Amino acid sequence: MTPELKRRMDAMCELCDEVARPACVVQAFDARQLPLDLPGNDIAEHLRDACEVVLFAVTLGHGVDRELRKLAATDSLGQVVFDAAATAAIEREASRVEAKVRLDAARRGLYCSWRFSPGYGDLPLSVQPAILRTLNATRRLGITLTPSYLMIPTKSVTAIVGVHPTPQPGLASSCAVCNLSEFCELRKRGATCGSNSRPAASR
């Protein structure tokens, strides 16, 4: 890679940090009094024996989408790098919120399962309206939905974390519930996106 290309990529990462306005809403519920239905076996399994259920929504804001549109018309390479940086940033934000939830639980001697989002396993995207309504996320974060239940701003995450009285196996999400597992380039190389290990191919 030439130094110029590296500079351009760095500049896009900086631009992303500049434009992003991370914001989140977190709310914990008594597991017996959850105000919404979470359909599917996988989420039920995930939350089995949980005493609390934490819902959260996190977003980088509309500025990121606006910048992506601008780059689409002016700088294709920049758009791709910016998009990747923004995707990494929203995952980072979601992990940060998850870590905080985990810490809060640990202080009370409780344990968390990893964060589970609509679209994982058999939890359908159609649960998004109820999650956003429960968190008042449209009013508080500006998150809206398309008719196919995709969130706008596009760099947004909603997630569900179980708080349990007993330690939960594994902190990372698993390929077993991932709908992309059969297409996954990382898996073909023997790696997963949830692990910190480097892809096998580059070892």
Q: Which residues bind other proteins (CB under 8 A)?
A: 1-2, 4-5, 8-9, 21, 27-30, 33, 35-37, 61-63, 65-66, 68-70, 72-74, 76-77, 79-81, 83, 125, 129-130, 133-136, 138-142, 144-150, 152-154, 179-180, 182-183, 201
Please state the closest distance from residue 124 (CB atom) to other proteins, in A. Answer: 9
CB-side neighbour CA atoms (13 Å) of 147? 0
User: Whole-number minimum distance, CB 171 to other proteins, in Å?
Assistant: 25
Instruction: Let me know: does 55 contact 148? Beta carbons within 8 Å.
Output: no
Residue among 54 and 94 whose Cβ is closer to other proteins: 54
CB of 30 or CB of 171, closer to other proteins: 30
Nearest CB to other proteins, comparing residues 88 and 171: 88
Q: Which CB, 33 or 166, lies closer to other proteins?
A: 33
Annotate 146-200 with three-state secondary structure: CCCCCEECCCEEEEEEEEECCCCCCCCCCHHHCCCHHHCHHHHCCCCCCCCCCCH
Distance CA 139, CA 19 (A): 21
Give me the half-sphere count of Cα atoms (radius 13 Å) on the Cβ side of residue 9: 10
Least Å distance, CB 174 to other proteins, is: 18
User: Residue 186 Cβ, how far from other proteins at the closest point, in Å?
Assistant: 12
Burial status of residue 100 (CB atoms within 10 A of its CB: 0-12, 13-18, 19 or more): middle
Between 147 and 167, whose beta carbon lies closer to other proteins?
A: 147
DSSP 116: B
Least distance to other proteins from the beta carbon of 5, Å? 5
